[in-house]
C-alpha cells in the first residue's frame, strides 16, 4: 500500500478543505492510502507555545511519518505571496531527511488558498516546491487534460490546486475537482514507483 502524507496548515478552513479533497483523490487510487496531518501554529518566544496535540482535527505530522511516506501533498494559505510560517517551520525541521535522502525520488504536489484571485497563489505554489526540489522530490502538477482547469473561474492552476476565498467561501466544483485530481495524480505515481521498486 502506498502511503500519501497530506500535510497542511490552515487557520480559517479553506486549505483544510482542499486537503480533504486531495485525500479523496488519493483514496480513489487502488493501492493508495491518504494520511491527513496538520502542523502547529508558531508563536513568538514570549507567547505560550502551541499545545502538543491539536484541540480538534487531524494530528500533527511527524518527521517519521514524512520519512516513511511514499508521496506528499503539501498545503498552505497564501500569506504575502508565500507559504505560511508554520508550514515553513515544519519544512525547516526536515534537515535530517534531506541529509539521508529519504524523500528523494518520491512524488509531491502542492496546494494553497488565498483571499484574492491575483493575491499570489502561483508564487506560493512555486515557493512551496523549492524545498521539495532540494529534497529530490518529483513535482506533480495539473495538466490541461484536467477539464476543470479550462472552466474554472476561481482557483486551480498547472502548479497545483487552489481556492480563492473571495469568489465564494466554499470550494467551487472546479476547485474540488482539481484538488482531487492532484491527489489522484500523486497517488498514481507513488503506486507505480513503489511497484517498480518492489523486489520480484
Shorter beta-carbon distance to ligand FMN: residue 114 or 157? 114
- Nearest distance in Å: CB 99, ligand FMN: 31
Tell the smallest beta-carbon distance from residue 38 to ligand FMN (Å).
10
CB 134 → ligand FMN: shortest distance, Å? Answer: 24
Nearby residues of 62 by Cβ (< 8 Å), 6 or more positions away: none
Task: Please give the residue ranges that form the binding site for ligand FMN (CB under 6 A).
Answer: 10-16, 77-81, 113-116, 119-120, 165
Instruction: Give me the phi and psi of 122, to 5 degrees please.
Output: -70, -40
Q: How far is the CB of 119 from ligand FMN (least distance, A)?
A: 2
**Nearer residue to ligand FMN within complex by CB, 16 or 26:** 16
Q: Which is nearer to ligand FMN, 43 or 195 (CB)?
A: 43
| Beta carbon nearer to ligand FMN, 78 or 188 | 78
Q: Report CA dihedral (95, 96, 102, 107) to the nearest 10 degrees.
A: -20
Instruction: Tell me the C-alpha to C-alpha distance, in Å, between residue 7 and each of 24, 82, 90, 102, 145.
Output: 14, 16, 10, 17, 26
Please give the Cα distance from 133 to 127 (Å, whole number). Answer: 10
- In angstroms, the first-to-last Cα distance of the chain is 16
Choose among 74, 63, 66, 64: nearest CA to 22. 74
Residue nearest to ligand FMN (CB): 119
Q: Which is closer to ligand FMN, CB of 39 or CB of 103?
A: 39
Minimum Å gap between C-beta 158 and ligand FMN is 19
CA-wise closest residue to 37 among 17, 60, 20: 60
CB of 166 to ligand FMN, least distance (A): 8
Residue 81 φ/ψ, nearest 5 degrees: 70, 20
Q: Quick one: 80 or 100, whose CB is closer to ligand FMN?
A: 80
Amino acid at each position: 500500500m502506498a502511503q500519501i502524507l497530506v500535510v497542511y496548515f490552515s487557520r480559517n478552513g479553506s486549505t483544510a478543505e482542499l486537503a480533504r479533497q486531495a485525500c479523496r483523490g488519493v483514496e480513489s487510487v487502488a493501492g493508495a492510502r491518504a494520511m491527513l496531518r496538520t502542523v502547529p501554529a508558531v508563536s513568538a518566544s514570549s507567547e505560550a507555545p502551541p499545545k502538543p496535540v491539536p484541540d480538534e482535527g487531524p494530528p500533527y505530522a511527524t518527521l517519521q511519518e514524512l520519512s516513511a511516506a511514499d508521496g506528499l501533498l503539501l498545503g498552505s494559505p497564501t500569506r504575502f505571496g508565500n507559504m505560511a510560517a508554520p508550514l515553513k517551520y515544519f519544512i525547516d525541521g526536515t534537515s535530517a531527511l534531506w541529509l539521508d535522502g529519504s524523500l528523494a525520488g518520491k512524488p509531491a504536489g502542492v496546494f494553497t488558498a488565498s483571499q484574492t484571485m491575483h493575491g499570489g497563489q502561483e508564487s506560493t505554489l512555486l515557493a512551496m516546491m523549492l524545498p521539495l526540489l532540494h529534497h529530490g522530490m518529483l513535482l506533480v502538477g495539473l495538466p490541461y487534460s484536467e477539464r476543470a482547469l479550462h472552466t474554472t473561474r476561481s482557483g486551480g492552476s498547472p502548479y497545483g490546486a487552489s481556492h480563492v476565498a473571495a469568489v465564494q467561501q466554499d470550494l467551487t466544483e472546479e476547485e474540488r475537482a482539481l484538488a482531487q485530481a492532484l491527489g489522484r495524480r500523486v497517488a498514481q505515481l507513488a503506486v507505480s514507483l513503489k511497484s517498480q521498486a518492489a523486489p520480484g
